Amino acid sequence: MLKLTDVASYYGNIQALKGVSLHIGQGEIVTLIGANGAGKTTTLMSISGVVQPKQGRIVFLGEDITRLSTERIVSLGITQVPEGRMIFPRLTVRENLLMGAYLRKDKAGIREDEEHAYTLFPVLRERRTQMGGTLSGGEQQMLAIGRALLARPKLLLLDEPSLGLAPLVVENIFEIIEQINKDGVTVLLVEQNAQMALQIAHRGYVLETGRVTLEGPASDLLNDPKVRSAYLGLD
């Protein structure tokens, strides 16, 4: 579904990705794990067109998207839930959700997807007239994911969905990610909580200073001694 080949991306003169290659098959949950500053967010930003790679290729469903605008990439079916959630604090929950559908014209389909978001996240239905900025961190994360789903993505990019959330809320969020995947959405998950990410993912990649240093089935990475000591805090 998605293939990155030798992708190098920069912020000014600083090279954040140094020849990243990875692939995601349709229907998979793939996770990227690594320390802060390893290039995980930059990988997502490069896929969604926010950062344009200086070398390499990104191909989505057979189409080269390396140089396309973010708007065009979203219209092809890639949606990103950014780190820090980035909801609109002065819009209501419902208005925030509908921002996800801004490229769509199919009113019946939008209504159907809005209803689906409320089914996945019942608390959003209760709070739909409330301002986004008054929600708890966990509710804001649910709103950010719900908003992304209103774009009807084929591939969902999730950047640190568990960041700053209580353990019970994190469990709930991860269950919902699995449900979204079962509903037919392919997921690329960037996550500091490597243990939880590898438990729900099919495959994983380890990024270190802008390079992929390890890849494989998630179960193999969970049991890899280097991964266990570096990212899972286990001996």
Tokens 């080949």 locate to: 5
Please, are residues 123 and 139 in contact by the beta-carbon 8 Å criterion?
yes
Residue 233: predicted pLDDT? 65
Question: Do the Cβ atoms of 29 and 178 come closer than 8 Å?
Answer: yes
> Which has the closest alpha carbon to 80: 46, 54, 55, 57?
46
Residue position matching structure tokens 């939008």: 110
SS (H, E, C) the chain: CEEEEEEEEEECCEEEEEEEEEEECCCCEEEEECCCCCCHHHHHHHHCCCCCCCEEEEEECCEECCCCCHHHHHHHCEEEECCCCCCCCCCEHHHHHHHCCCCCCCHHHHHHHHHHHHHHCHHHHHCCCCEHHHCCHHHHHHHHHHHHHCCCCCEEEEECCCCCCCHHHHHHHHHHHHHHHHCCCEEEEECCCHHHHHHHCCEEEEEECCEEEEEEEHHHHHCCHHHHHHCCCCC
For strands 2-11 and 55-60, give the pairing: antiparallel
Q: How would you write the pLDDT of the chain (235 residues) with one tens digit per residue?
A: 999 999 999 998 999 999 999 999 999 999 999 988 899 999 999 999 999 999 999 999 999 999 999 999 999 999 999 887 788 889 999 999 999 888 888 999 899 999 999 999 999 999 999 999 899 888 999 999 999 999 999 999 999 998 888 888 889 899 999 999 999 999 999 998 888 999 999 999 999 999 999 999 999 999 888 888 887 765 5
Domain ranges of the chain: 1-77+155-160+186-235
Rounded CA-CA distance 29/130 in Å is 32
Tokens read off for 223: 């049991």
The dotted CATH code for 1-77+155-160+186-235 is 3.40.50.300
- The whole-angstrom separation of Cα 211 and Cα 233 is 22
CB 118 within 8 A of CB 112: no
Total Cβ atoms within 10 A of residue 129: 9
